[in-house]
């Protein structure tokens, strides 16, 4: 069990499921942080990862993103119980948590493999950071309202040099996150691609672009900006200096396994979370 320990509702849900587990003969394993907050016996990080097949993530999509990075490289499938706002990743409903866990215990679920981005920051032609993101990597400027210019390459081909407030490179998983707000398309997670979305482009012709699953995207800021930041899933940030290059691709070695239940598929989520089909005029026969 992985829990947003800063949210009282998530802690209450965790304690409720612990009590349910006692009655149902189900025991939960806790990594060190959750164990200390919940007052349970915990395991070390590596021991926990080696003993867990399925992790229940209690919180919102932010908690799910942190959980995905935590289990990266381990064969652990994630199921999220949403106590946040939108809940595309943490799709389970709190009021149905016990029923959902019973379905999972019976094996009545499927696994969707979500690709992750691999980003490498190069400085003076040397790799200084390697990072992985389930949703997106975003290159953006600081607080000053100044346009930045970013050279975008696919492989060795120049795609464009964009004047914009920033650039989002997203997975299909992240297509319903920041990229959607910036005007990008919705892409189901089984489609293997990357999405390049400018943020407030200072041109009329710039549009989102899809890159293939084997493409390598290189972002190189031009000019002398010294207030640039590369953010990882909107949660971790890395300073980018003039002359740095950021290479982004779909990771070949890592992915995230997400549990989906038969009663709650991706397109059902789109209809529910984006309220598609609401307010459509119905016509009665005369």
What positions carry a catalytic annotation?
Answer: 61
The span from the CA of 179 to the CA of 198, in Å, is 9
Q: What is the largest CA-CA distance in the chain?
A: 74
The H or E element spanning position 251 is strand 245-260
- What is the secondary structure of 107-129 as a DSSP string? T--EEEEEEEEEEEEEETTEEEE
Q: What is the residue whose two structure tokens read 């459509």?
A: 280
The span from the CA of 92 to the CA of 172, in Å, is 20
The H or E element spanning position 19 is helix 8-24
Q: What is the SS3 assignment for 204?
A: coil
The span from the CA of 114 to the CA of 111, in Å, is 9
Give me the half-sphere count of Cα atoms (radius 13 Å) on the Cβ side of residue 25.
1
Percentages of the chain per state (helix, strand, coil), in multiples of 5:
25, 35, 40
The span from the CA of 124 to the CA of 112, in Å, is 39
Count of C-beta atoms within a 10 Å radius of residue 78:
22
């Amino acid at each position: 069990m992985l829990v947003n320990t800063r949210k009282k509702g998530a802690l209450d849900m965790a304690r409720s499921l612990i009590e349910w587990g006692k009655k149902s003969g189900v025991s939960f394993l806790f990594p060190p942080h959750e164990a200390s907050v919940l007052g349970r016996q915990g395991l070390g990080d590596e021991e926990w990862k080696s003993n867990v097949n399925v992790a229940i993530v209690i919180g919102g999509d932010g908690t799910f993103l942190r959980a995905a990075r935590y289990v990266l490289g381990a064969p652990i499938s994630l199921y999220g119980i949403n106590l946040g706002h939108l809940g595309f990743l943490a799709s389970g409903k709190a009021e149905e948590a016990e029923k959902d866990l019973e379905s999972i215990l019976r094996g009545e679920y499927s696994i969707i493999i979500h690709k992750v981005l691999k980003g490498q920051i190069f400085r003076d032609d040397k790799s200084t950071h390697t990072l992985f993101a389930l949703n997106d990597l975003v290159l953006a400027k600081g607080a000053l309202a100044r346009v930045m210019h970013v050279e975008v390459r696919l492989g060795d081909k120049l795609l464009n040099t964009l004047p914009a407030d920033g650039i989002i490179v997203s997975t299909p998983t992240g297509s319903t996150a920041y990229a959607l707000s910036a005007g990008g398309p919705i892409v189901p997670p089984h489609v293997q691609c990357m999405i390049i979305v400018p943020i407030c482009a200072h041109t009329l012709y710039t549009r989102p672009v899809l890159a293939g699953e084997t493409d390598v995207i290189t972002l190189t800021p031009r000019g002398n900006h010294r207030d640039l930041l590369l953010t990882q899933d909107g949660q971790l940030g890395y300073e980018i200096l003039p002359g740095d290059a950021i290479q982004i691709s779909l990771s070949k070695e890592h992915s995230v396994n997400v549990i989906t239940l038969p009663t709650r598929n991706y397109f059902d989520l789109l209809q529910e979370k984006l309220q598609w089909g609401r307010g459509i005029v119905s016509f009665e026969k005369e």
